[in-house]
Structure 1
Amino acid sequence: MELRHLRYFVAVAEEGSLTVAAERRLFTAQPSLSRQLRDLELEVGAQLFIRSSRGVELTPAGRAFLDHARRALQAAAEAVAAARRAARPPKPSFSVGFLTGQEVEWLRHVTHVLRPQLRDIDFRVSSDFSPDIGEAIQRGDIDLGFCRLEPHPDVIYKVIAHEPILVFLPRDHPLAACSAIDVRDIDPTSFVGYSDTPHILRGIVDRYFRDRGVAMSPAQFLDGIATGISLVASTGGVTLLPAYVEPLLPRSVVCRPLTGNAPVIEVAAGYRGDNPSPVLRFFLDHIDQLIASRAGEAVSI
């Protein structure tokens, strides 16, 4: 009995037709397939199929044989995969986590810096809330994280950009006609506030409001950019978010700058100092290239 016999048997059992299995899955002639199945039945010593003009059905012996045939094919495939993995030493992995939405801004710059390394590494990308990115760096689950300055004892941060915080509001909102918005003109009850998750953004905005004697009375609270955009679009509310959110907006939502000295929020690349990854060392040696590339792009825009 050969593996091809098992493949033929499983294909016919799953298709319920010699013709369909031969033409669409096995790419062989039906008479040849029929001979292979007869040879298999002779070797097994039991009839596996009941043949009729409407197709084929499994006998009780065939149903018992099917599960074992599938497991045998799976085991053979795993054996081949294991041999190939052994023949090719695994690539070192390098994982990067982004504050959700920041991958739109920064991933292309990261891959540009790492271009000499990409062919030789297993490059992995994920996105999450900023506190979760900080924790993942601390645990060693990711090598590099783009997030806020989350307080973790073993994480080192390199500030790579300062983003302005903008006003986000519905396109048909009266304030959308303004080229810039005074925060004191925002209806306090329409403001979409922040949950505990974006705590750094919340702290910056709260200080900005206090400095200007503004008190908001939010009834809705966002925990991430997707929630914030949805709440603005669905409730007609207004909120403050970093500028990187702008490319992600639906047509119904727009953003405007704040008047005067608007607040900014830092974007940082975080990593553990004891991470021995040579790819991380290479990235850190070239991080100024990443900062300059993003800054030049921002100026040109």
Structure 2
Amino acid sequence: MELRHLRYFVAVAESGSLTVAASEKLHTTQPSLSRQIKDLESEVGAQLLTRSVRGIELTPAGRVFLDHARVVLSQVEIAVESARRLAEPTKPYFVLGFLTGHESTWLPEALQLLRDELPNIHIVVSSQVSPQLAVGLSKGTIDAAFLRREEGTSDLAFRLLVKEQLEVFMPVGHRLASRDGVDPRELRGEIFLSISAKALNGVGGPPALRIVIDAYLKKCGISLKPSHEVDNLAGIMSLITSTGGVALLPTYAKNLLPVAVISRPLKGVIPTVDLCIGYKKDNPSPVLQIFLSRLEELIDRVSRKTHQVSPGARVKHHHG
């Protein structure tokens, strides 16, 4: 098994299409990509992907493999860049972590902001699920990350960027898809899909998003036991299409919507989950201090660009 096999598999899983992955992400031909995926499945000894009218979907084995493939690729990238850091010790170096799916919104502005201050800075981007980002911050392999307020992270500091509203995600043909808004009580009896309660982190507690979802359902007096749980958005999107189930996810998940999935806002008091900048309290990086000093500007830039951050969701920050 080679790293390119993992990269190819992740690209196909995230795009939901061999054609799109081959032409837009990997710049190769579809027959070549198909052969690489078959070689990978032969090496693993399990079918990872299936074809359907909706495109390429992950099998249960594929969903598990996707989580680990992302971790492996991320660790390899960090290992390579750590070696380069030692080889070029005089070059400013900064590892920026992103909750998968948020790159399209925050990454361009964050990179521009850092390069305005430090034109020659070497920036490494690491995309992972929130609990893994928290582990990276604690271990010192990531300098700053866009993530949730994960539990068991007393060595980390968090600065609020935005409160993200949750919506109901469902197949386009679902009975609730024609509604302008969904009453949470209408979710009773549905196949319910959720973020895994077992975080991929050092503490083993549930991820912050799962805590928010469970608290919201409890407050609404609704008992929904997840039929399936998964650690990443790509896996949940695949499950929505394959099971016909519904999920409560932050609005940013629309960045990863396949054509077969749609979202609808919730009625009543809408739950939110914090998106923060997290960093280790004792990280001495001067680049980190520059980055933190310009967070307000970053929020303003993204707000103007997307027009999706409501005034009530933005927060003034104070250093310390």
Paired with 1:163 and 1:110, the residues of 2 have a C-alpha distance of: 19
Separation in 1 of the partners of 2:260 and 2:215? Answer: 29
Query: Counterpart amino acid of 1:190?
Result: I
Q: 1:181 to 1:223 in 2, by over 3 A?
A: same
User: In structure 2, do the counterparts of structure 1 residues 182 and 89 end up closer, same or farther at CA, with 3 Å as the change threshold?
Assistant: closer
Which residue matches 1:91?
Answer: 91
Which residue is equivalent to 2:132? 132
Q: Offset at 1:212?
A: 1.2
The runs of 4+ residues in structure 1 deviating greater than 6 Å are none
Letter in 1 for 2:180: S
Contact 1:204 1:265 in 2 (8 A): yes
Partner Cα separation in structure 2 for residue 89 and residue 211 of structure 1: 52
State the 1:167 CA deviation: 0.5
Identity %: 38
CA distance in 1, matches of 2:208, 2:164: 13
**Secondary structure of the corresponding residue to residue 274 of structure 1:** coil
Q: After the TM superposition, which of the residue ranges 260-269 and 101-110 deviates more from structure 2?
A: 101-110
CA contact (8 A) 1:99 1:130 kept: yes
- The residue type paired with residue 257 of structure 2 is L
Query: Counterparts of 1:202 and 1:134 in 2: how far apart (Å)?
Result: 15
Q: Deviations over 1:50-98 (max 9, x none)?
A: xxxxxxxxxxxxxxxxxxxxxxxxxxxxxxxxxxx99x87412100011
Q: Is the 8 A contact 1:189 1:218 kept in 2?
A: no
Q: Shift of the alpha carbon at 1:273? A: 2.7
Are 1:230 and 2:238 matched, yes or no?
A: yes
Distance in 2 (CA, whole Å) between partners of 1:122 and 1:106 is 18
What does residue 149 of structure 1 align with?
149
Shift of 1:297: 3.3
> How far did residue 156 of structure 1 move?
0.9
Matches within 5 A, 1:97-246: 97-150=97-150, 151-195=152-196, 196-197=198-199, 199-246=207-254
Unaligned runs of 5+ in 1: 1-84
Comparing 232-241 and 97-106, the one that deviates more: 97-106
For 2:154 and 2:300, the matched residues in 1 are separated by: 28
CA offset at residue 117 of structure 1?
3.8
Give the 3-state SS of the residue equivalent to 2:253 in structure 1. Answer: helix
Aligned length: 216
C-alpha distance in 1 between matches for 2:127 and 2:272: 22
The structure that has the greater radius of gyration is 1
Structure 2 residue corresponding to 1:263, chosen from 262, 271, 286: 271
Alignment gaps of 5+ in structure 2: 1-85, 200-205, 310-320
Alignment root-mean-square deviation, CA: 2.0
Answer with 185-194 or 278-287: which moved more: 185-194
Shift of 1:189: 4.2
1:71 corresponds to:
none
Residue 284 of structure 1, aligned match among 280, 292, 309: 292
Q: Distance in 1 between matches of 2:284 and 2:194?
A: 41
**Residue 234 and residue 142 in structure 1: after superposition, are their counterparts in 2 closer, same or farther (change >3 A)?**
same
* Alpha-carbon distance in 2 for matches of 1:124, 1:273: 20
Counterpart contact for 2:115–2:121, Cα < 8 Å:
no
**Contact 1:163-1:242 within 8 A present in 2 as well:** yes
CA distance, structure 2, for counterparts of residue 280 and residue 89 of structure 1: 17
| DSSP 3-state at the match of 2:177 | helix
Q: 208-217 or 290-299: which moved more?
A: 290-299
**Aligned equivalents of 2:308 and 2:155: distance in 1?**
36
Paired letter, 2:290:
F
Larger proportion of helix? 1
DSSP 3-state at the match of 1:240: strand
Q: Which deviations, in whole Å up to 9, do the C-alpha atoms of 1:152-174 show, x marking residues without a partner?
A: 12211101111001100000111
Q: Which amino acid counterpart does residue 156 of structure 1 have in structure 2?
A: A
